[in-house]
Amino acid sequence: MALMNENYLKLPGSYLFSEIARRINSFKKENPDADIIRLGIGDVTKPLPPAVVEAMKQAVDEMSRPETFRGYGPEQGYEFLSQRIIEHDFKPRGVELELDEVFISDGSKNDTANFQELFGLNNILAVTDPVYPVYVDSNVMAGRTGNFNDKGQFENIVYLPCTEENGMKPDLPRTEVDMIYLCYPNNPTGMTLSKEELKKWVDYARENRSIILFDAAYESYIREEGVPHSIFEIEGAREVAVEFRSFSKTAGFTGTRCAYTIVPRDVKVYDSKGESHSLNSLWLRRQTTKFNGVSYPVQAAAAAVFTPEGQKQVKELINYYMENASIIKNGLEKAGYKVFGGVNAPYIWLKTPDNMGSWEFFDQLMKKAHIVGTPGAGFGASGEGYFRLTAFGTRENTERAIERIKTRM
């Protein structure tokens, strides 16, 4: 008899975005003619930039000729891409990285979910609340948490509430934690941390020998000065942090799949005898065993993001989505909503009117305005009473959605 991994039984229902898809489908069955505007999952709507498409086509052509065909690539990614990542994304910000500190992958969702495998099951993890559910669920599946309690939280996780009282910025944990997940610019609140604020976390991690798992998937949306794009801009972060980056939201790769994770050689974890081990070597060991790299055409396409035309086209994409963010933010504010985010991030976090529950607001918005968003409660207990809209829709739908919220809600 095959026994199951009973940790899966601790997970409530389905994954957040699968539950939303289920509700949309059932609404559509009953209202087949409803013109639904989707501002729920943060999926891009603009096609891949032309420079990226051209590079991918050329790479596919290479794969069609015996003299340029490539089989398995390096598990850690092609040097032509890692080199460009270092030169464009880190060097200009004063961050020096070696090639073997960059790991190309097929997505930050998988990397953030898989990375926890490198840590002992007795580690205590801290997450912001609200939080991108993948960090929590992957640790639940691994058995690093207790059960789901009636507060809507898992035992053995330290939740760091991000509320209006603390400006949606987490306070340092009061008890010692070992693994800290931070996502900035934040999904779902769209808020950022300043360098000084992020430094407090790096200092905490250095003092406590904890590791910060820093998700920077939305860094290209930062508009304001003084907001760190990488945790490695903070002194000492090389000793205690890992950073996840993605081409998904930057260059429209949600369906193409390419991302990268930076694991500095200086980051150490400890065995039960207190001896230190390199996290970089552990991740390399993990990836070489379980992953065969991202396809050559996709990596060639990602490298084109860093060409002058690629940079120009990607900036245009980001400007387009950030213009949507302003339309949503300003429109909601005019309609009397309290709104967070949308300045350095493609997410707008709104307070539901009249203290309405997040899922109730979800249902009302779908029924009255035919708009899909994401209920804040799906991101954690502190998200109850809030709601997330994404700026990744088309301009037309974004404008229509705001008009509908003003007139129908």
User: Of the two residues 90 and 218, which places its CB atom closer to ligand MLT in the complex?
Assistant: 218
Contact at 8 Å (CB) between 195 and 233? yes
Site for ligand MLT in 42-71 (CB under 6 A): 42-43
Task: Provide, rounded to whole angstroms, the least separation between the CB of residue 132 and ligand MLT.
Answer: 6
- Check binding of 257 to ligand MLT (CB under 6 A): no
Q: Judged by CB under 6 A, does residue 130 bind ligand MLT?
A: no
Closer CB to ligand MLT, 97 or 242, in the complex: 242
Strands 37-38 and 374-375: unpaired
Q: Which is nearer to ligand MLT, 159 or 218 (CB)?
A: 218
Phi, psi values for residue 245, rounded to 5°: -130, 155
Residue 238 binds ligand MLT, judged by CB under 6 A: no
Closer to ligand MLT by CB, 17 or 148: give it.
17
CB of 254 to ligand MLT, least distance (A): 7
Choose which of 187, 220, 280, 398 interacts with ligand MLT (CB under 6 A).
187
Q: Amino acid identity of 386?
A: Y
What is the C-alpha separation between 260 and 55, in angstroms, rounded? 19
152: left (phi over 0), alpha (psi -120 to 50) or beta: left
Q: Judged by CB under 6 A, how many residues of this single chain contact ligand MLT? A: 6
Contact range with ligand MLT by CB under 6 A, out of 37-45, 62-70, 141-149, 174-182: 37-45
Q: Closest CB to ligand MLT among 43 and 75? A: 43
Residues 24 and 341: their CA atoms lie apart, in Å, by 25
Scan for tokens 């249902």, then name that residue.
363
Non-local CB neighbours of 102 within 8 Å, separated by 6+ positions: 76, 77, 82, 85, 86, 260, 261, 262
The nearer residue to ligand MLT, 240 or 401, going by C-beta atoms, is 401
Q: Is 24 in the site for ligand MLT (CB under 6 A)?
A: no
Burial of 126 (0-12, 13-18, 19+ CB in 10 A): buried
User: Minimum distance from CB of 367 to ligand MLT (Å)?
Assistant: 22
Cβ nearer to ligand MLT, comparing 187 with 295: 187
- ∠ CA 340-346-348, rounded to 5°: 25
Q: How far is the CB of 390 from ligand MLT (least distance, A)?
A: 6
> b/e map of 234-244 (b: 16 or more CB within 10 Å)?
beebbebbbbb
Q: Does 141 bind ligand MLT (CB under 6 A)?
A: no
| Minimal distance, residue 182 CB to ligand MLT, in Å | 15
156: left (phi over 0), alpha (psi -120 to 50) or beta: left
Question: Which residues here bind ligand MLT, judged by CB under 6 A?
Answer: 41-43, 109, 132, 187
